[in-house]
Structure 1
Amino acid sequence: MGGIWILLVSLAAVGGLLGLLAWAAARSRRRGIGASMMGPFEEMWHPTAAESRVELRVQNERKSPLPSPEDL
């Protein structure tokens, strides 16, 4: 009987952890903070998506060059 309780508690703990991660992922997507919160997990399980996200961030931060005085 004691082994069943250990099994049930273990399954509840694993289920709770997975539920917590699913909740955190959904919340981070809604708020737009997914890259900072779920980024390490995405790099482990889906590295190409992480690389493309970094590339998009770099392109968005890039500023257009200022016109030179000769162009005016």
Structure 2
Amino acid sequence: MRTPSLLPAFGKLGVKPPVVIAAAPTLSKSMNSAALRMRKVLSAHGGLILKLSVLVWTILILAAAFFMSRA
């Protein structure tokens, strides 16, 4: 098997170590507590919320189709 050449073909590949960015997300306290509350609600009522969201989505699509057919 042929080994690749060590010439830099698109910059210096493999010479620099990869840059690791360890930026923590900046959330305010209210956003953090809202996210925690949302997580708790979804874990407790996830199936019901999914069914209701699919129902609302279906009604919106049918309403949009109805109004587009009337126009």
Q: TM-score range by the shorter chain?
A: 0.3 to 0.5
Structure number with higher relative contact order (C-alpha < 8 Å, ≥ 6 residues apart): 1
Q: TM-score, normalised by structure 2?
A: 0.36
Q: With structure 1 as the length reference, what TM-score do the two structures score?
A: 0.35
Higher helix proportion:
1
